[in-house]
Chains A and B, each alone.
Chain A
Amino acid sequence: MKPGEVAIVAGFTDEQLSVKLMEMGCLPGAAVRFNFAAPFGDPICISVSGYELSLRLEEAATISILN
């Protein structure tokens, strides 16, 4: 994804992290927007269910998306 793009959360590839992500409102079926990345490209800021979340690239990579 590029900054500004929106996608739909399809599922997660990591069970442990998925629980945490879902608690924070990152649910399957929810729309996520990639807002911007930190200066060294990591971590990134996303918008999901009305919040701005920051997460590291490796954490973001566990979210599978539908375009």
Chain B
Amino acid sequence: MSKAPSSKIALVGNPNAGKSSLFNHLTGLNQKVGNFPGVTVEKKSGTTTLLDGSVVEVVDLPGIYSIYPRSLDEKIVSEILLDHHSPNTPDKVVVVADATNLKRGLLLATQVIDMGLPTILVLNMMDLAIKAGISYDFTMLSKKLGIPVVALNARKGDGIDELKKLLATPAEKISKNIFHIWPEAKEAVNELRGSLGVDNDYEAYLFLEQPQSIGFLGKEKIAAVNRIREKHQFFPGKFQGAETIQRYGVIQDLLNSAILKSADDSWKSYSTKIDRILTHKVWGYLIFFSILLVVFQSIFAWAEAPMDFIDQTFGQIASYLTNVLPAGPLTSLLTDGVIPGIGGIVIFVPQIAILFAFISILEESGYMARVVFLMDKIMRKFGLNGKSVVPLMSGVACAIPAIMATRTIDNWKERIITIMVTPLMSCSARLPIFAILIALIVPEQTVLGVFNLQGLAFMGLYLLGFVAAIMSAYIMKLLIRVQERSYLIMELPTYRIPKWSNVGYTIVEKTKAFVLEAGKIILAISIILWGLGNYGPGDVMENAESVVRDQSSNLRLTEQAFQDRVAAYKLENSYAGIIGKTIEPVIKPLGYDWKIGIALLTSFAAREVFVSTITTIYSIGSVPEDEAITIKDRLAQEVNPDTGGPRYTPAVGISLLVFYTFAMQCMSTLAIVYRETRGWKWPAIQLLYMTVLAYVSAFAVFQFMS
């Protein structure tokens, strides 16, 4: 089982060619998601056992149409295939092509062949090709390309054994050239091969064509490449169009002799019929919004039970350990810092899993491309892209996977704007705060016969977040100036029934990414906040019990109520409490006092911490025997010493709701934005603009209402 992989296989292919189905089929659950060194591009790799028992590593590279990269994801493919002397260099490249339409897949295949690494061509979706009436002369195809060709159906697994047999055979370098480099470029290529010792012409040619993909060469060699490029006046991209035309010419000849029977498009006429409904000007939007509604409904309805279960389980673990372990700072760190911290991460797993189940089904079926198609015009008005829909949708569950989903947007400006506004979508961490505050200030009554007023308030907040996101995007569109063109040349794949195992793998992969990526940060922040909340200057903490005993000696408190008071006293005098009091003048115009200040501070790690802080600070931590005093009742009783009236007036409540809708109260999101934009500039701007927006709006609401 733990045999070291004997060789490395890279999977390359067009998007929609079924590359991930093949990857999932080969590797099963032996997959892991990491990063390519130095970049944020996800690296999916796994191992597979060949028929002779040897284990090989399989790396799934991002889907591309040609070896000329346009986005970060695509660049990694040309880098890996161009660098023939690194530990990442694949021993074999498997090009996955769609057998129902081989022409475009062959463009990429011929480029890979010319780069000189041992290559195998897989004709995937052979079942559909047969259905479409296509038949190929595989021997001819293989002979003309100079590489082995396998017919496969990755969804069912037909042909996998044959591929595995080929993978087990020793790798042979190919010396065939399909593309002939222009005489004008030949001189530069020869000089480069002479000075750097590059393996073959096309590789050297690409060094000259793609200055952005040769970072692995090191400064000195890059300088040499640049010198040669300049000397021969070789402009990157100069011959790219001509190369594509030449390749397609060769491919057409090749297909003329290798296709025995060609397809007629009638097999996919059902797809056209579906499109007529799904992209209809009325039905199209109606169906899309109904799907959205179902997705959100499910996220909240189905996730509730598992979330409650996780919440209780972690609570039980913490209280069990509190009883079992000796009291002390380490136990406190474990039960009040680490375990609730991990719980705070795991609790989002159900929602994220459900969300990605839906997204993956919509993507697998081909519907997502239609959503992009439907929404592009509208989104573009606001500086976004049709492809921004998925991140914004995901943002309702959690901004972290949503921001990771922006990688599919190849235009830099549109991607940045999407990243910047996604956290304004009301994520599930805001829910507990909304729930408690709405219960407090919005009366439970029915309006217009059917609508629950509290439900309407919820919906209003989601809408508010969405409108803020769209408006901010519009403003950023005007502010960010770049000379990069935006385009939307995208394939609309034929509709298919989703492959359920692929959906399953996506769920596992995304959930794992969330737990590991966001988890680290949430956990770290939880521990820091635990420290701030449990330690204070001098000996206040040690004296807490006696001070509270003095204060409440004539109150005849139960032991439990006494302990709760001690906890509240400790929090008040801890570093967190001191910071809360320090910032009170700043938040007073919004209607908040230092107690809310502490909650604002502690909820910076994750918004939902607001609720647990509030519970501690009003010492309602544990009063199970006194059911009458719930958090809501306790908050309603809280008196504002300045006015003598209740602290949580509707004005304060709404001000808080607005604040939490807009504020960037999430360290993990900032950390992900840092990773995705590779710098502190964008997360800093994001933190600033969202905080200002939250502050100003909450201020306006409070001042207007009181």
Measured CB to CB, the residues of A under 8 A from B are 15-25, 27-28, 35-36, 38-43, 45, 47, 49-56, 59
Q: A16-B485, A43-B488, A52-B491 are in contact. Are A36 and B244 (CB under 8 A)?
A: no
A46 CB → nearest B CB, Å: 9
Are B244 and A22 closer than 8 Å at their CB atoms?
yes
Residue of A nearest to B107 (CB): A23
* B369: contacting residue among A15, A21, A54, A55, CB under 8 A: A54
**Interchain CB contact under 8 A, B487 and A22:** no
Q: Is the CB of A27 within 8 A of B101?
A: no
A23–B485 Cα distance when bound, in Å, is 18
Beyond contacts A22-B241, A36-B279, A51-B101: 20 other A-B pairs, Cβ-Cβ < 8 A, are A17-B487, A20-B70, A20-B487, A20-B489, A21-B489, A23-B65, A24-B489, A24-B491, A28-B245, A35-B272, A35-B275, A38-B376, A45-B373, A50-B103, A53-B490, A54-B488, A54-B491, A55-B487, A55-B489, A59-B487
Q: List 21 A-B contacts (CB under 8 A).
A: A16-B485, A17-B489, A22-B241, A22-B248, A23-B107, A23-B244, A24-B491, A28-B245, A38-B279, A39-B374, A39-B377, A42-B376, A42-B377, A43-B376, A43-B488, A45-B492, A50-B263, A52-B492, A53-B492, A54-B489, A55-B490
Which of chain B's residues has its CB closest to A16's CB?
B485
Binary per-residue interface labels of chain B (218-250) against chain A in the complex, 1 for a CB within 8 Å, 0 otherwise: 000000000000000000010011001100100
Residues in A whose Cβ lies below 8 Å from that of B488: 43, 54-56, 59
Contact A19 B248 (CB under 8 A): no
* CB of A66, distance to nearest CB on chain B (Å): 17
Closest 3 A-B residue pairs measured CB to CB? A39-B281, A52-B492, A50-B101
Check A19–B237 contact: CB distance below 8 A.
Answer: yes
| Chain B residues within 8 Å of A, Cβ to Cβ | 65-66, 68, 70, 100-101, 103-104, 107, 237, 240-241, 244-245, 248, 263, 265, 271-272, 275-276, 279-281, 284-285, 369, 372-374, 376-378, 386, 485, 487-494
Known: A50-B103, A50-B263, A55-B488. A36 touches B245 (CB 8 A): no
Which of A16, A49, A56 is the most central at the interface, judged by chain B CB atoms within 10 Å of its CB? A56
B241 lies within 8 A of A51 (CB)? no
- Report the nearest A residue to B262, measured CB to CB: A50
The answer to whether B279 touches A51, judged by C-beta atoms less than 8 angstroms apart, is no
Q: For residue B486, which residue of chain A has the nearest CB?
A: A56
Is there contact, CB below 8 Å, between A39 and B241? no
**Chain A residue nearest to B252 in the complex (CB):** A27
When the two chains form their complex, are residues A18 and B241 in contact, meaning their CB atoms are under 8 A apart? yes
The residues of A that contact B101 with a CB separation of less than 8 Å are: 49-51
Q: Is A39 a contact partner of B284 (Cβ separation < 8 A)?
A: yes
**Bound-complex Cα distance A1 to B265 (A):** 21
Say what secondary structure dominates the interface of chain A: mixed
A38 and B377 in contact (CB under 8 A), knowing A19-B241, A52-B491, A54-B488? yes
A8 to chain B, nearest CB (A): 15
Write out the residue numbers on chain B whose beta carbons fall within 8 Å of the beta carbon of A15: 241
Q: How far is the CB of B77 from chain A (nearest CB, A)?
A: 14
Question: Who on chain A is nearest to B66 by CB?
Answer: A23
* Given A39-B280, A56-B376, A22 contacting B103 (CB threshold 8 A): no
Asked whether B489 lies within 8 Å of A59 as measured between CB atoms, the reply is yes
By a CB distance below 8 angstroms, the chain A residues around B104 are 23-25, 49, 51
Q: Which residues of A contact B487 (CB under 8 A)?
A: 17, 20, 55-56, 59
CA–CA, A15 and B237, complex, Å: 10
Distance (Å) between the CB of A53 and the closest chain B CB? 6
Instruction: Name the residue among B240, B271, B487, B491 with the largest chain A CB count within 10 angstroms.
Output: B487
* Smallest CB separation, B700 vs chain A (Å): 34
Nearest neighbor of A21 in chain B, beta-carbon distance:
B489
